[in-house]
Every structure is written in structure tokens, then in C-alpha cells.
Copies of this chain bind each other. A is one copy, B any other.
Amino acid sequence: MHIAQLGEQRVIKALLRPWPASSRDVPVGPGDDCAMIRSRPGAAWVVTTDQLIEGTHFDWSWSTPAQLGRRAGAVTLSDIAAMGGIPRYLLVSLGLPPRTSVAVVTRFYGGLRQLLARHKVQLIGGDTAAARRFHAVMVAIGEVEPRLAVTRSGARPGDLLMVTGTLGDAIAGLRLLRRGGRARRAASARALIRRQLTPTPRLEAGRALGAHRLATAMLDLSDGLMIDVNRLCQASGAGATLLIDQLPISPSLAAYGRRTNQDPIRLALAGGEDYELLFTVRPADEVRCIRLLRRLRLPCRRIGTIDRPAADRTPSGPAVTVMTRDGRRQSLRSFIATQRLRSFEHFRAPARRGRP
């Protein structure tokens, strides 16, 4: 059997089975947004790794080197945000085709430096080696007080499911980039393209939700809501009901949907790379949470609730139920099937993000 038949999640799961999930000095091991390492009493490091691979995550025909450098920093720091941590250090390893122009590499570092400077993150190391195609592999190290860190596993039945910002913009931006032509010129199209090319790590929001002990569980939306809500539920041993009509849609995405005759809700559900935060709060904390994020100028919306694990829970994750405005309920799995949604998970999907 090859990787593409198994799918990324199951590959990772199978590989990590022999490794301990946590230990005394590593309270959070593989499988969360970051691993956590105790450093001294009351302090810990959070560590995460992420990669951008030519043909898989980006295409030089639609991304400049500076944009790619900025994005490399952003997607990696986003994992630190999802733990409620403060990013401090970054390492980046590049695989470079020998004929890569030096200017490409300089501009990549320029974009990365800009992003890191904004968040006061130091580049402390890296490596370059010859490769057939470009890849960048980043490692970010951040700080967190263990009692304020937010993992994926703390959601409890009754908690509310919340999300920052808007969903589906990045996938729409990607489609615009791939198609090219006149469709990209509208202001709304440019806004969607920006979401794809230069995502924003929600560092202040993630930190505030942790520091005020509001989020009971949290992750960043990298692979799309329908995959990531399952991850949160699975880690927490819970189910969820998703209020499908409550998914936050930007005016730009709504306009794109009208122009292209696509349902924005479907894009919000299946599209990846929005790098918004998906988190849970106790019902009593909903108002405090919305106010806190409003002070950070980041909208936040309730999109569902955490349930008891469903009876028809399967090995691929606890069942998530989808509820429409008219009160009809359907399992997420059958909803996906009837809507013919295709996720952006690695290996599984026949062609993902810019692969030729």
C-alpha cells in the first residue's frame, strides 16, 4: 500500500504509535499543534515544524519569493498561536535547485525577516542543500506557561465551538491565482488572493485566549474546517454539532461565490490555509471571549457546540453533526458525501494546491 491510499492522518497516526504521547518533561508530545517541553518551574517551550514545498504548497508562477518567505514564517508561527504561546526563535532549512537565482533566496529571506521582525522572532539557524525542487522547512520555538497553554484535547460537552475571522478565503484566492486572467483584478478578488499568499498568524488572539484561560481547546485551521473540527473532537474525545449557516463568510468570498456560482459555505468547510483559530469556550465565557477579541480587532463567531461522543463514533474520528438553519441534522460525513466535498488533505486528494 502506498501513502496516497492511506491518507496523511493515518500515515502520521501509524508512524507515531510506537512513540510515547507525553512524558514528565514533555507534557504535550506529537499530534498537537506544538510539542511542549518543560524548561524550568512554571515555564515551557513550544516547538513546531512546517514545510512549504514547490508544487504542493505553492507555485512560482503565482507567488513571489518575498511572499513565500512571509508565508513560511506565518504558517509556522500560527501553530505557536494555537497553543497560546509567544514565538521566540525560528530555524529554516531550504532545498534549492542549483540554478535557483541568488535573488530568489535573498528575497525569500527578506519576506521572512519582515514577518519575524514584526513578531520579534529571531532566526537562529538553518541549512541549505541542493534539491530537485524548492522546499522550505521551518521550526519555530516559543514560550508558554504550561498552565496557560491550550491543547486540542480540552474541549468538553457543552462547550461552544468558536472561530476567528472568516473562512474559505484562502482556497478562493488559490483558485483565482490558478485561473489567472481578468477575474483577479476586482478588489474582492485581490483580498482573497492576499489571504492565500500572505496569511496572518493569530498570535495576539491565541495568546489572549490562553492567558485569560478562555479557550478550553484550540487549533489553527490549516487543512480546512471539516478536517480540523474532527481533529479537535478526536483529541478531546468528544463530538460536535456544526451550525452550518453560521460559518463566517467575508463579503469578498460572498462576491466571489456569486460571480462563480459557487456556494461559499462549501468553500468555508472544505478550504484549507485560512490560519484562523478554531477553539472552544465554556458557555459562560462566550461574551467575554467576543469582547476580548473585539479589542484585538478580530471578529469571532460561535459556529457550533461540543457534544458527547456520538454512538456511531468510528475509527476515523468521533462523528460531527451538521445542523442547517431549518433545524435539519445530518452527520458531517454524509453531508460531505452529498455535497461532494473534497478535502485538501495531503496524499489523499488527487491534486492539491498547485500540483501540476
Contacts and interface: CB of A to CB of B under 8 A. Distances in A.
Contacts of A48: 125
A99 B129 contact: no
A53 B124 contact: no
A89 B11 contact: no
Interface in A15-72: 15-16, 18-20, 23, 25-26, 29-30, 34-35, 37, 39-40, 45, 47-51, 53, 55-57
Given A2-B98, A125-B47, A130 B352 contact: yes
Nearest to A48: B125
Given A15-B105, A141-B47, A124 B29 contact: yes
A95 B135 CA distance: 9
A310 interface: no
A41 to B, nearest CB: 9
A99 B130 CA distance: 23
A296 interface: no
A4 interface: yes
Q: How many copies does the complex hold?
A: 2
Given A18-B109, A51-B95, 15 more contacts: A3-B102, A8-B128, A8-B129, A20-B122, A29-B124, A30-B126, A35-B124, A45-B45, A47-B139, A49-B137, A53-B95, A53-B129, A56-B131, A96-B347, A130-B355
Interface in A340-355: 346-347, 352, 355
A243 interface: no
A51 B93 contact: yes
A126 B14 contact: no
Contacts of A186: none
